[in-house]
Structure 1
Amino acid sequence: MNSGEMPPEDEKQPSSQAKTDFLDDLANVLVTARRALSDQRGVIALRRLNRREYQNTMRVLLGVNLDVSQLPADSGGPHFDTVGAGLFVTGNQFELYESMAQQALDQAFNARLAGTQPRKFRVEVETLHQLFAKKNKEGLGRLERAMKWIQAVDGAVKRPENAATVAGLRKIAANADALRYHWKKISGAPSPMQFGFDKTSEVNPAGVYVARDHAEFVQYDRYYLGLPNLDKGAYLTVATREGGGNNVTAAPGLTIPGNFPPGDYVVRIRAGATANAPADRRFIEFGLKGSKGIYTPALSTHHVTGTVAMPQVIEIPFTFSQDNIDSRFRNLFVRERGFTDGKNDERVKDAFKRNGFGPEVALWIDWIEIESRPAQDGGVPPGVRVLDIPLDAKVTNVPKEKLQGAFEAFVREAYRGVPAPAGTVERLIRIYDSRISAGKTHRAAVVQALSAVLSSPRFLYRAEPGDSASSRSLSGLELATRLSYFLLGEPPDSTLRELAVRGDLLRSEVLYAQTNRLLHHPRSGQFVRPFLTQWLHLERLDLFQFNQKLFPRFDVSMKATARDEVYETFTHLLRTNAPLSDLLRADYVVVNGLLANYYGMPGVSGDRFQKVAIPANSPRGGLLGMAAIMAMGSNGEQTNPVERGAWVLRKLLNEPPPPAPANVPEITRLAGMPLTTRERLQAHQENPQCASCHRKIDPIGIGLENFDATGMWRTTDSYVPVNAEGKRDPALKKTWTVDSSSLFYKGAAFRNYFEMRNVIATKRRNFAKGFSSALIEYALGRPCGFSDELLVEAIIKQCEAKNFATREFIHAVVQSKEFRSK
């Protein structure tokens, strides 16, 4: 039917409307059938720790941060990465887990032996002006030498005896610069080497021209050296290439001392903005250089609210992991946001034409320091603390009872409070003895034995033993493990385990209180980020690069901050127990200084995300007003109304369109035609195969057309078609006023985005149902099927009675029979 092969050509053909309706109905029936057939009816497949859960577990247990990119993929397909059916492991991958466990244990033991004494290192950056002075002297020297060589060659060109030679060269040389490339043929012309340039300049004097053409940068250095407060700090400037040399910049940095071990640190930067710094130039980027130099993605972006006279101290948490202890990865940097777009040479030249010296400085740095932070939750990680045995490699003759006690305690910690099964400790002792017999050290033998624990199924899998064909209530420890991995993505802490062992956690009121405690935990982001990323498909933000020529403000830092707005808004809903429907429409936003600057909201400063009231006519407030959500519905250059409309149907209205058929033909006749977005979408209605889905999707996409590809509000749009040569032809450019009016399929009409949003905001129950279904799948580790309809309805009914309070959804899932049983 979709390809047009049925009905056969010699049979009576259905009308377009009939075919459209039939395909719509059949597609949805097939989707429903697929859901029914895949319904697991409550059975949860055995679940391996996914990558992030494994990483979090090793951090909690041993205090180490591991690179988990080599671990088995969490192949959940369309489902969450918690769904057990996609969390399998092959036999040879146990060796990988064993190897990673040995690395983790070595790191943990090294940290234990190194002690926990605080470490602190500071760099005063005022010496950077000496670099500028040297750079300016070298640049000025290169410029003077370049001009002397050019003048000498030009003098030889003017000699009468060279007239015939020069006349012949001018036939192949387009200008004076090109003529000098043939200096060897001109009598009396000197070699560039006589003026201090390298040997390659004899063949290609391009380096001479680079030195000449970078006169602006020499002047820029002079400007910098004349700035005040260079005896106290340094200004952030653009990176430039002078005379063909390496990138040089006043980008203060810090090299982590070699005796600083992996661990958690805090980096502090004392900074201030100049008096005339524009609002959008008051942001710094912080990061780790690595092996690729300074042009690496920043780890974080920060708002500078202090001044040069009264600087502020910016504190940045930083984890120094085993993977970057190599000296190449010990260099931290600070740079002005946006000065890594490859346009710095152009930026200097343009500013030089404007003011005679180059880009004005905006940010000043006094000093940078790094200091170790106390271990999370304080003290030594539990997996190391319970090992009441020496960890030094030189130790010999450790009493067997000491080993047995240490191994038994470690197994209990690794197995999330569950005692070691019969025979486990004896097997570990045999592994230890075999390593000692093979000539290995005591420490190596301990690592080998404990790595067997950390690569065992009881550690790698969230074990809930029992017959999968029957149902039973979870034990206290099993419930503690489910709850903690649901809301923190890590093993239960001592509080949960103690309540579980006493049986108190099985009481509803205690479970309720502990759920609230975890939702307010400092690491609750380990639930918010992975859940929202997968539920809302935020990974789409990383599928393409945004055109920096069209959208220079939506750089890597802005994209990361826009994504954070989604997380921080949901976190606000959880902490304040605000209505979930605030995600559909709200009279406030949760933003920081950088995002407020992007949205044009004055009066917001700093890195902390905060609730900010917005006027009634603002397009912001709720998911649809967020830059990250709208940016996902684009290709980095133009909006994608189909993607946006389908996303709204799936995530906000809980009316997901069926998957697009693979055999629907493309609308090739529109290629290269100068059409508006609305005109292009109208073509979908001409084919029944397209119309069956697009009549529901496209109107919503049209209603969002006032947002450009990066989520900024606009009233006009334009399109430049591709010509016959496959290139964008500006002559064919079409510009139009955005018309966002349309109507929902079999629903209300709307005149603009605001009216459409109001209609969507009335669908609170639909939204709650989709959210509940997603929460059930994420929490239980299995798809939410038809057999869960009663559970979904019970959750909605409970939450509706409390105005759809966000935290109430979490409580409803946790208190449900399905969550508390296997």
Structure 2
Amino acid sequence: MNRLSLLIAVLLSAYTSSHAAEAQGRAVMDQRHKALFQETCVSCHGPDKQKGKFRVDDLPFEIKDIETAEKWQKVLNQMNSGDMPPEDEKQPKNEAKADFLDDLANVMVAARRTLGDQNGVITMRRLNRREYKNTLRELLGVDVNVSDLPADSGAGGFDTVGANLFMSANQFEQYQLLGREAVEEAFAWQAAAGVEKKLHYEGETTTSIVKKFVEHQIDAKARAERWVKAVEEAAAKPENKDIVAKVRKESKNDSIFRREWARIPGAPNPRTFGFDKKGENDADLANDSLGAGWLKYHQYYMSQPAVDKGAYLGTQTRHPAELNVNYIELLVPFDWPVGEYVVRVCVGATKDAPPERRFLDFGIYARTGRVMATHEITGTIEKPQVIEIPLTMTRSNMTRENRLLFVREKGSWDTNEEGGRKRAEAVKRNGIGPELTLWVDWIEVERVPKTDKPKPPGIAALSIPLDDKSPAPATPELRTALERFATEAFRGTTPPKGYIDRLLSLYDVRRKAGDKHSAALKETLAVVLSSPMYLYLAEPTPDEKRRQLTGMELATRLSYFLWSAPPDKQLLDLGRNGDLQKPEVLSAQTELMLNDPRSSDFLEAFTHQWLGLDRIDFFEVNRALYPRFDTGTKVAAKGEIHETMAYIMRSNASLRDLLKSDYVMINRVLAHYYGITGVKGDGYEKVSLPKDSPRGGLLGMAAIHFMGGNGERTSPVERGAWVLRKLLHDPPPPAPANVPAITRLAGKVLTTHERLLAHQEDPQCASCHRKIDPVGFGLENFDAAGQWRTEDSYMAIDANGKADPKSKKSWTIEAAAALYKGPAFKDFFGLRDIIASKSDAFARSFSEALIEFALGRPPGFRDEPLIAGMIQQAGKKDLAMREFIHALVASQEFHTK
């Protein structure tokens, strides 16, 4: 064996051994790496010479401290950047260098984990934003906007990790303001408990507006034509020849020319023809009235059947203050109180409406496109259907924007650009504009009071007047009420007498300052809601020693794990009397909590953070390239991930279903997008798949593939790295910040394979990309919007940032590749099978994430037995999802502070 072969063999062996070391909790570089150092590094960084005062021959190969880690990181940075070895020195072979960098990068990941291990210590932490919001909801029955609070994941990881949950003096002020708002909201709900409201809007109201507008347009067009004739006559006068020539030269078109009418002697003011609108250019109004396009579209609208009985949803025609037929807006009156409302829409589709245009968006404030729900319209104009949509109105909805509801055709006007593009395409197609397909008979909004709904525990605990209609309570009564309220707020812990005394003093100060009882009470309760006993999940350990949680502490830890909210009375009682610490009681309560609707808060937050779904909201697709991936589809696609997780949890199905399954959880929007039949209702349903379907599991979901791109093109690197991180528990090391760009590829028209394979020729890149890219190749049949495809194309971008059609290159997608040091696959289905076969790695990833989310700290090496135990217990039931949770909740780590 020659020296090169020996070196490669040594490095490959070191790669394997270092990974084994990482698994055992040690960050160790194999001693045989000294061969590489001896050949390429020691002459400049050895015992005789230390360039840059840096020496490598005595560098410890086990990283036990920060100083050693910093030296190895410097080696990694210098070799990644290509600065070492210098160009004029002997260079290692590309494959050998790539292996070394891969090995060292993974050892550095292990080192960071080792040096950052908290040894099971759980940092006392405050409630994060979600938990604070949910705790207010459970205590007072209200939803408060908490978006102004600081973010909870500054250092990465889950928002339950104590090290991320900082607190400042300013935050206490924010909590007091939010607490005051929550109390105001709760009092408002109690005051409006029995109020009934109903608003009905007939669709033909919009039609009557269109009819009047058409009459106005016909008259305005005639007046505009007379004005234009008069302007042209003035422009034709010989004495105006020079000025007219100058104005025409400065004007791009006739409309701009007429806008300069005042410079042409004898040209009439458009106001004399009735174009008089304050704050706008009268010439613009007259020019606009000349265009026959909008008039033709409005006349087309008025010619539709049943137009006298309802309204059609078309495209935006003029400024919303004048006229819109692309959506119907309904303003909830400002004097209507907070409460639970129902919005009903009676709607039908025309008989010739294509399937993709039979969907209705419902949302708030059309100009920002906040779509809340999308429904398929199966009714007709003759037999319309009634859609019911729940709506919660809070004090934060008091602004016009938040009370302005809308219905529109799905995706018809998500953005001005998109609406304009669709209209232009329709005019080119039919000379008029977008065909009208959805007809609305009527819309109504109703507030239905729930008189039998019990009071929230915080309000029930007060049991004193909340308004000023009754006499203010005496001091003993108020003391009792405040003590009961604080006990509820502090999750069953009775506050000390001195604390209640200070609350009473605050109340008295406010009353003496002139506040009425209700105002003074709100300020006092707001202090409770910004107290450390409310804001912190405290498990005090004065002697800093490990100890068992008390029953009450266990109840709180369990509820904030599975509900992201405080324990209810039943759970607190079980904790208080010690029954919760009995294994059979704890298991039963865990089941009950997972079956409770409140568990959806845990599951949604955990799924979002575990799978890294933030990218779904980072960017939009290029709708010119992917017109079907509109706002409604994007919302539905994101919902598919959460609904699938909810189904697996609800039915205690196998975690393997996230890797590959023969079913999907989709609604009608996604059924149409995927081309899948079988959805019967209006919500998400379990639908069986044919054997050849690429759907089923995370890798079949549009939202997952949407994250793996930039809205225009796919990124095999982004997708491959995500699969390695989330599904295979083999995360690539962080990308080096100082790797130089590969300039030789700039401007070249290459297939995805060609571009990435060329990228791998550089050892600094190959060390990571040889693992990442094959996985990304296998997912290339999904485009940037998650649709299945068999071909792709690419065009070069010119100096002006525009695509050059002459450079277009198209190719048939070949999803065949081989995993690095792993099996080969012929297509996506083969890749999916390989990934599905690695369910143990996926189970480990899931277990570690659960531990971090539940305990509020990253898992460490001392957690290895816990992880193994969770996988073993779940494995006995085919990796059933709930078994992981039961194993964690029953563990010593979960019961220990």
* Bin of the TM-score, shorter chain as denominator length: over 0.9
Within 5 Å, give how 1:315-714 maps onto structure 2.
315-340=388-413, 341-342=415-416, 343-344=418-419, 347-348=422-423, 350-352=425-427, 354-355=429-430, 357-372=432-447, 378-393=453-468, 398-467=473-542, 469-604=544-679, 606-714=681-789
Counterpart residue identity of residue 513, structure 2: A
SS at 1:682's partner residue?
Answer: helix
1:169 CA drift (Å):
7.2
Residue matched to 2:157: 79
Counterpart residue identity of residue 220, structure 2: R
SS at 1:265's partner residue?
Answer: strand
Counterpart residue identity of residue 316, structure 1: I
Counterpart residue identity of residue 566, structure 2: P
Deviates more, 1:543-552 or 1:78-87: 543-552
Q: Matches of 1:806 and 1:361 in 2, distance apart?
A: 47
Q: Matches of 2:196 and 2:251 in 1, distance apart?
A: 67
Residue matched to 1:221: 298
1:559 CA drift (Å):
1.3
Match of residue 94, structure 2, among 10, 16, 23: 16
Counterpart residue identity of residue 177, structure 2: S
Match of residue 314, structure 1, among 387, 392, 406: 387
Residue matched to 1:239: 316
Q: Matches of 2:843 and 2:264 in 1, distance apart?
A: 83
Within the alignment, does 1:781 sit opposite 2:856 as a pair?
Answer: yes
Within the alignment, does 1:800 sit opposite 2:875 as a pair?
Answer: yes
Q: Is the 8 A contact 1:641 1:705 kept in 2?
A: yes
1:790–1:360 Cα change, 3 Å: same
Residue matched to 1:283: 359
* Cα distance per residue 1:583-625 (max 9 Å; x no partner): 1111111110001111112343543111111111111111111
Q: Matches of 1:692 and 1:605 in 2, distance apart?
A: 49
1:332–1:468 Cα change, 3 Å: farther
1:769–1:668 Cα change, 3 Å: same
Q: Matches of 1:120 and 1:439 in 2, distance apart?
A: 38
SS at 1:519's partner residue?
Answer: helix
TM-score by length of 1: 0.94
* Cα distance per residue 1:128-166 (max 9 Å; x no partner): 211111111111222222223334445566678878987
Q: Matches of 2:562 and 2:508 in 1, distance apart?
A: 40
Deviates more, 1:584-593 or 1:541-550: 541-550
* Cα distance per residue 1:22-60 (max 9 Å; x no partner): 111111111101111111121111121100111111111
SS at 1:299's partner residue?
Answer: strand
1:456 CA drift (Å):
0.9
1:509–1:365 Cα change, 3 Å: farther
Match of residue 299, structure 1, among 362, 372, 392: 372
1:271 CA drift (Å):
1.9
1:550 CA drift (Å):
0.9
Counterpart residue identity of residue 856, structure 2: G
SS at 2:371's partner residue?
Answer: coil
TM-score by length of 2: 0.86
Residue matched to 1:257: 333
Deviates more, 1:726-735 or 1:7-16: 7-16
**RCO higher in structure (CA 8 A, sep ≥6):** 1
Counterpart residue identity of residue 52, structure 1: R
Residue matched to 2:829: 754
SS at 1:298's partner residue?
Answer: strand
1:353 CA drift (Å):
5.6
Residue matched to 2:349: 273
Counterpart residue identity of residue 305, structure 1: T
Q: Matches of 2:192 and 2:283 in 1, distance apart?
A: 56
1:413–1:420 Cα change, 3 Å: same
- For this pair of structures, how many residues does the alignment match? 817
Q: Matches of 1:182 and 1:64 in 2, distance apart?
A: 58
SS at 2:386's partner residue?
Answer: strand
Q: Matches of 1:76 and 1:164 in 2, distance apart?
A: 68
The percentage of counterpart residues that share the same residue type is: 52
* Cα distance per residue 1:303-359 (max 9 Å; x no partner): 222222222222222221222213453221111111213254564565456446533
Q: Is the 8 A contact 1:645 1:697 kept in 2?
A: yes
Q: Matches of 2:448 and 2:566 in 1, distance apart?
A: 22
* Cα distance per residue 1:623-663 (max 9 Å; x no partner): 11100000100011111111100000000100001111122
Q: Matches of 1:685 and 1:167 in 2, distance apart?
A: 63
1:756 CA drift (Å):
0.9
1:315–1:361 Cα change, 3 Å: same
Deviates more, 1:790-799 or 1:484-493: 484-493
1:179–1:614 Cα change, 3 Å: same
Q: Matches of 2:260 and 2:494 in 1, distance apart?
A: 84
Deviates more, 1:695-704 or 1:383-392: 383-392
Q: Matches of 2:188 and 2:256 in 1, distance apart?
A: 63
Q: Is the 8 A contact 1:192 1:202 kept in 2?
A: no
Residue matched to 2:45: none
Q: Matches of 1:178 and 1:316 in 2, distance apart?
A: 47
* Cα distance per residue 1:42-93 (max 9 Å; x no partner): 1111121100111111111112221112213213422100111111211232
Q: Matches of 1:264 and 1:336 in 2, distance apart?
A: 25
1:454 CA drift (Å):
1.0
Q: Structure 1: give runs of 5+ residues left out of the alignment.
A: none
Counterpart residue identity of residue 317, structure 2: T
Q: Matches of 2:794 and 2:403 in 1, distance apart?
A: 46
* Cα distance per residue 1:526-560 (max 9 Å; x no partner): 11211111111100112222111111111222111
1:223–1:821 Cα change, 3 Å: same
1:377–1:729 Cα change, 3 Å: farther
Counterpart residue identity of residue 445, structure 2: I
Root-mean-square deviation (Å): 2.7
Deviates more, 1:647-656 or 1:299-308: 299-308
SS at 2:507's partner residue?
Answer: helix
1:211–1:421 Cα change, 3 Å: same
Q: Structure 2: give runs of 5+ residues left out of the alignment.
A: 1-78
Q: Matches of 1:458 and 1:624 in 2, distance apart?
A: 44
1:743–1:442 Cα change, 3 Å: same
* Cα distance per residue 1:498-527 (max 9 Å; x no partner): 332333322222222222222222233211
Counterpart residue identity of residue 718, structure 1: S
Q: Is the 8 A contact 1:72 1:89 kept in 2?
A: no
Within the alignment, does 1:34 sit opposite 2:90 as a pair?
Answer: no
Counterpart residue identity of residue 399, structure 2: D
1:328–1:620 Cα change, 3 Å: closer
1:439–1:555 Cα change, 3 Å: same
Within the alignment, does 1:58 sit opposite 2:58 as a pair?
Answer: no
SS at 2:137's partner residue?
Answer: helix
Residue matched to 1:130: 208
SS at 1:563's partner residue?
Answer: helix
* Cα distance per residue 1:448-477 (max 9 Å; x no partner): 322221111110011222247322222222
Counterpart residue identity of residue 219, structure 2: G
1:204 CA drift (Å):
8.0
Q: Is the 8 A contact 1:351 1:358 kept in 2?
A: yes
Deviates more, 1:614-623 or 1:98-107: 98-107
Q: Is the 8 A contact 1:588 1:614 kept in 2?
A: yes
